[in-house]
A and B are shown apart, each in its own frame.
Chain A
Amino acid sequence: MKNNLYKYILGIADNSLILGQRMGSLTGHGPSLETDIACTNISLDLFGQVRSYYQYAAKIAGDNRTEDDIAMLRKEREYLNVLLVEQPNTDFAYIIARQFLFDVYHFMFLTELQKSHDVTLSAIATKSIKEVSYHQRFSSDWIKRLGDGTELSKAKMQEAINGLWTYTDELFHQTEADKAMVAQSIGVDVTKLKEGYYEVVNTILNESTLEVPESKWFQKGGKVGIHTEHLGYLLSDLQFMQRTYPNMDW
């Protein structure tokens, strides 16, 4: 039970950590000052949520580990985030598409997590969903603006959606920890979110005059620690200070 709950929390939190790191690395690189600030604000929200999850996970682990140990000192295979969030900041269309494809899921997931019988998870979800509703507005707006924009912006947006589509199905895969937590009314049954997810996504893609990809071949693995090559590079950046100067603090 304890181990399953611990893993379950990491499965949720790691998505926010890795996506937060991706968005945070845009600091000073956003296409305009306002979007730069928006992307890093989203990153800040995600990191804030991550702290609540990891603090709780550290408490459950019951040894001396801290939220920082969990964030900084695991190996690549121990991160349980979905493949979608670790995909690189290829260009602004990819950044927005990745955010959008995750936001729609994230909002639906937190809506359900609020009903968790675990009071801490329910409290974190209730807090976070208010922030995530802004993320979803932001990314959906940009999907529409670029999709229904110029010929070039549309082509780039379509390419990004096509490129990332293969990572969407994994959002609805259940791990062993998921199943155990669902059985105890602590976890969310993600398989039930799938239909609603594609309805929302497809509606917004249609409004944006973009095509819904037809490919039925999907990647998976992140939830059980098998990642794309991109995560290693991301972690070497994220963990650099703690690996180089162990236990450093400021």
Chain B
Amino acid sequence: MTTTEQNIDQKLFPILEQVSDPEIPVLSIMEMGVVRSAVIQNNIVKVQITPTYSGCPAMDVIGDDIKKALKENGYNSEVELILAPAWTTDWITPKGRKALEDYGIAAPLDTEADKAVLLNGKRMVKCTNCSSQNTRLVSQFGSTACKAQFQCDDCQEPFDYFKCLK
């Protein structure tokens, strides 16, 4: 129950990769790291997903979307929500981080830098518009629970920063 390894059947990979996070459509749930296991047992695909935040309203939709995508590919499936081990931003893949940045959401920094930025007002988060690090925290909570609001003091762009969660 508490393994941090993913256990995903390679055959299912391309199917699951097509399912995206409804609130961040550029990011697939695989890049997000929310799928912890997907295995075929007696012709049924058993998928385990873990929420980014407890109250993430996207989880029900993600579960339905996974079932739909698998059905279209001829699989019946069961989706289970698991809480342990708890999701961390480390599970976002490099490709996922790039997709976030391209979409206008700054990817999470490491824990120390994240603290410096959110607690001590350090200017380190790169603006998603002009790449300047002359940015400041506007609010620790953004458009969704997983993000904080920032603004760039060079180009004035307001943008979201994906908070580090460990």
Contacts and interface: CB of A to CB of B under 8 A. Distances in A.
B141 A131 contact: no
B141 A46 contact: no
A92 interface: no
A47 interface: yes
A138 interface: yes
B36 to A, nearest CB: 13
Interface residues of B, number: 26
Contact of B54 (A38, A127, A141): A127
Interface in B1-60: 1, 51, 53-57
Given A37-B139, A137-B140, A45 B145 contact: yes
Contacts of A45: 53-55, 145
A41 interface: yes
22 contacts: A34-B141, A37-B141, A37-B142, A41-B144, A44-B55, A45-B145, A46-B55, A48-B53, A48-B55, A49-B54, A51-B54, A51-B55, A52-B54, A52-B83, A119-B1, A124-B83, A127-B83, A127-B86, A130-B165, A134-B163, A137-B140, A138-B140
Contact of A137 (B83, B118, B143): B118
Interface residues of A, number: 28
Given A51-B54, A124-B83, A127-B51, 12 more contacts: A41-B141, A44-B53, A44-B57, A45-B54, A48-B54, A49-B54, A120-B83, A126-B83, A127-B83, A134-B163, A137-B118, A138-B140
Interface string A45-71: 111110110000000000000000000
Given A128-B54, A138-B141, A34 B149 contact: yes
Interface in B53-102: 53-57, 83-87
Interface string A121-140: 01110111011001001100
Contact of A47 (B55, B87, B141, B144): B55
Nearest to A56: B83
Contacts of A191: none
Contacts, number: 73
B146 to A, nearest CB: 9
A134 B166 CA distance: 12
Majority SS of interface residues in chain B?
loop
Interface of B: 1, 51, 53-57, 83-87, 118-119, 138-145, 149, 163, 165-166
B84 A126 contact: yes
A27 to B, nearest CB: 13
A35 interface: yes
A72 to B, nearest CB: 17
A10 to B, nearest CB: 17
A51 B145 CA distance: 16
A48 B145 CA distance: 11
A51 B46 CA distance: 22
Contact of B53 (A119, A122, A131, A137): A131
Contacts of A47: 55
B18 to A, nearest CB: 26
A37 B143 contact: yes
Contacts of B139: 34-35, 37-38
A239 B144 CA distance: 26
